[in-house]
């Protein structure tokens, strides 16, 4: 049996006085494809940020066998300022930063790798465009390319399918499938159906981690959302089937 690559133990976190994550336990194994679902405000993004070390938990811990700087992260909303004078290629190149010391410059090898990644994500056409000039779907691919440039040992994606076009969706599916041959992939999503063929395990989070296993059923979803929801609902995060009591 393989040891988990990453273990979350009793993770508790909140903003201000409001508890968002309550004693969450989660294992991520070397070849996992994990979907994290749950209602808005349920703590999905917060969990990912805590695992990435962006938030300091109130209590509990994240035990990781992944070296610092080798976690790939594709944020939901680009956290950067799109008026910054950078071309798409420069942004992707920044993904190499974690692999270098503070003083090192980008090398020929860095640039060649970035070229390959741009090609794989069908971004070569816009490589010289300003980051403010690309479409939403292209920007999503830029963020993925940047995460991949660091040759990550694990990849976290926050709502990768939220605002993308058909082409980007297809590219994303191929890339994730290929990556999952080597590394674990964790996807936060409202829309499990868009990536469902690949998903091996689903974690439902609504403050507590409600379910954690290979299959999802109606009972679990009801427990997580607090009311009956439909499993297959394209793009609709939370469709209520029956009347609330």
Kindly tell me which of 103 and 166 has the beta carbon lying closer to other proteins.
103
**Selected binder of other proteins within 1, 102, 166, 232 (CB under 8 A):** 102
The number of C-alpha atoms within 13 Å of 32 and in the hemisphere containing its C-beta is 27
**Selected binder of other proteins within 23, 87, 169, 212 (CB under 8 A):** 87
Number of helical (H) and strand (E) elements in the chain, helices listed first: 6, 9
Please, what is the minimum distance in Å from the beta carbon of residue 33 to other proteins?
20
Under the criterion CB under 8 A, does residue 111 sit at the interface with other proteins? Answer: no
CA dihedral 173, 196, 213, 219 (to 10 degrees): 150
**Selected binder of other proteins within 27, 90, 165, 222 (CB under 8 A):** 90
Stretch that binds other proteins, among 3-11, 78-86, 119-127, 134-142 (CB under 8 A): 78-86
User: How far is 203 from 97, CA to CA, in rounded Å?
Assistant: 31
Q: Say whether 132 sits in a helix, a strand or coil.
A: coil
User: How far is 48 from 36, CA to CA, in rounded Å?
Assistant: 9
Query: β-strands 33-37, 185-188: how paired?
Result: parallel
Under the criterion CB under 8 A, does residue 84 sit at the interface with other proteins? Answer: yes
**Selected binder of other proteins within 141, 146, 201, 207 (CB under 8 A):** 146
Distance of CA 104 to the CA centre of its chain: 28
Contacts 24+ apart (CB under 8 A), 51-58: 51/6, 51/8, 51/156, 52/156, 55/13, 57/11, 57/12, 57/13, 57/21, 58/12, 58/13, 58/14
Please, what is the minimum distance in Å from the beta carbon of residue 134 to other proteins?
12
Please report, in angstroms and rounded to a whole number, the separation of the first and last CA atoms in the chain.
Answer: 45
Of 51-70, which residues contact other proteins (CB under 8 A)?
Answer: 52-55, 68-69
**Selected binder of other proteins within 17, 85, 215, 243 (CB under 8 A):** 85
Stretch that binds other proteins, among 99-107, 169-177, 201-209, 212-220 (CB under 8 A): 99-107
Stretch that binds other proteins, among 72-80, 176-184, 198-206, 231-239 (CB under 8 A): 72-80
Kindly tell me which of 19 and 94 has the beta carbon lying closer to other proteins.
94
Please, what is the minimum distance in Å from the beta carbon of residue 19 to other proteins?
18
Query: β-strands 18-28, 6-15: how paired?
Result: antiparallel
Under the criterion CB under 8 A, does residue 186 sit at the interface with other proteins? Answer: no
Phi, psi of 226 (to 5 degrees): 85, 5
**Selected binder of other proteins within 80, 120, 208, 212 (CB under 8 A):** 80
Tokens of 129: 């465009």
- In the complex, which residues of this chain contact other proteins (CB under 8 A)? 52-55, 68-69, 71, 73, 75, 78-87, 90-91, 94-95, 97-98, 100, 102-106, 128-130, 132, 146, 150
């Amino acid at each position: 049996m393989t040891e988990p690559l990453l273990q979350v133990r009793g993770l508790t976190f909140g903003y201000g006085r409001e508890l968002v994550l309550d004693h969450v336990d989660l294992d991520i194994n070397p070849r996992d494809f994990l979907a994290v679902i749950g209602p808005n405000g349920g703590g999905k993004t917060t969990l990912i940020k805590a695992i990435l070390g962006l938030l300091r938990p109130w209590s509990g811990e994240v035990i990781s066998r992944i070296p610092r700087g080798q976690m790939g992260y594709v944020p939901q909303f680009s956290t950067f300022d799109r008026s910054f004078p950078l071309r798409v290629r420069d942004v992707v190149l920044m993904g190499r930063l974690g692999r270098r010391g503070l003083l090192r410059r980008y090398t020929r090898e860095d640039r060649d790798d970035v070229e390959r990644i741009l090609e794989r994500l069908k971004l070569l056409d816009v490589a010289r465009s300003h980051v403010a000039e690309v479409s939403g779907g292209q920007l999503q691919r830029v963020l993925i390319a940047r995460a991949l440039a660091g040759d990550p040992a694990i990849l976290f994606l926050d709502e990768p399918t939220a605002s993308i076009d058909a082409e980007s969706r297809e590219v994303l599916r191929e890339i994730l499938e290929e990556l999952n041959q080597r590394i674990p992939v964790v996807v936060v999503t409202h829309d499990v159906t868009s990536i469902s063929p690949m998903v091996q395990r689903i974690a439902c989070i609504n403050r507590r981690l409600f379910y954690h296993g290979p299959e999802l059923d109606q009972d679990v979803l009801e427990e997580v959302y607090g009311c009956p929801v439909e499993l297959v609902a394209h793009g609709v995060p939370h469709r209520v089937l029956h009347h609330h009591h």
